[in-house]
Structure 1
Amino acid sequence: MILGIGTDLCNIDRIAGVLERFGDRFRNRVFTEDELARAARRANEAATLAKRWAAKEACSKALGTGLAMGIAWRDMAVSNLGSGQPQMHLSGWAAERMAAMTPPGHSAVVHVTLTDDHPWAQAFVVIAAVPLAAAS
């Protein structure tokens, strides 16, 4: 069963401007070390970070809170499987919120997809509850 859906569209040039203006202050406030390391290896750091920004916004919407209710940016992190498929990891208040949303006897699964086509980066997040017997 679907517990939440979120989407976000982010302007890559806007993120590039924020990176120019605030540099590491912005990077360290919003992104995890792993996210920053991945972005540093990419040809277009701003596009990589814009997709992750969009994923965090989309995830906060799927959690039903937005970013105004206590979720920290770094409570949501995007990594990639070896195949390139993105994964969302929740910690802190975001993980607590997801646990509170999850019905008894279920496990929550976060699905995320990212795309970019300059100047836009986009993310969709779906949080689903899977019966515990089916989760294993």
Structure 2
Amino acid sequence: MIIGMGSDLCNIERIQNSLDRFGERFELRVFTEVERGKAARRPHTRAGTYAKRFAAKEAFSKAVGTGFKHGVFMKDIGVVNAPSGAPTLALEGGAAARLAELTPHGHEVLVHLTLTDDHPWAQAFVVIEARPLLQAGLNDAVVR
């Protein structure tokens, strides 16, 4: 079942302006070490890389229904890549706690994330899905 959904549209030029004005202070306040490393490897699209991640953080905060309140902070939400290369979120602190509060008992949670950009816009969609945990014996198939 879907327990949360959020989207955000971020202006890449706005992120570039923040980088120009605040530099490393902005990067350290908003982005994780993994995100900063990825942006550093993309010098020609650095602002776009950050803008997509900024949009993902905003989209997640909407999906959990708090915005950046109640202990949910931008740095607690990090965009990482699954082994397949697909983007997903690594959550810590208040963001992880809020997601745990939303997760129904007996369920595991999956966070689906998609990112895109087309200058001057970056966009992210987050869907939070809860799936029932398998109970030993009840959902096991018998193979003969």
Structures share a fold, TM > 0.5? yes
Q: In 2, distance between residues paired with 1:81 and 1:45?
A: 21
Contact 2:70 2:94 in 1 (8 A): no
Corresponding position of 2:29: 29
- The Cα of 1:46 is off from its aligned counterpart by 0.2
- The Cα of 1:89 is off from its aligned counterpart by 1.1
Counting only pairs closer than 5 Å after superposition, residues 47-58 of structure 1 correspond to structure 2 as: 47-58=48-59
Corresponding position of 1:120: 121
Counting only pairs closer than 5 Å after superposition, residues 2-81 of structure 1 correspond to structure 2 as: 2-42=2-42, 43-81=44-82
Structure 1 stretch displaced more, 71-80 or 112-121:
71-80
Kindly provide the amino acid, as one letter, of the partner of residue 81 in structure 1.
A
How many corresponding residue pairs? 134
Q: In 2, distance between residues paired with 1:45 and 1:93?
A: 27
Gaps in structure 1 of 5+ consecutive residues: none
- The Cα of 1:87 is off from its aligned counterpart by 1.1
- The Cα of 1:82 is off from its aligned counterpart by 4.7
Corresponding position of 1:93: 94
What is the TM-score when the length of structure 1 is the normalising length?
Answer: 0.95
Gaps in structure 2 of 5+ consecutive residues: 136-144
**1:73-95 per-position Cα deviation (integer Å, ceiling 9, x unaligned):** 11100012354310111110111
SS in 1 for 2:100: helix
SS in 2 for 1:104: coil
Relative distance call for 1:117 and 1:108 in structure 2 (3 A) is same
SS in 2 for 1:67: coil
Q: In 1, distance between residues paired with 2:82 and 2:46?
A: 19
**1:13-35 per-position Cα deviation (integer Å, ceiling 9, x unaligned):** 00000000000000000000110
Identity across matched positions, percent? 60
Structure (1/2) with the larger helix percentage: 1
Larger radius of gyration: 2
SS in 2 for 1:66: coil
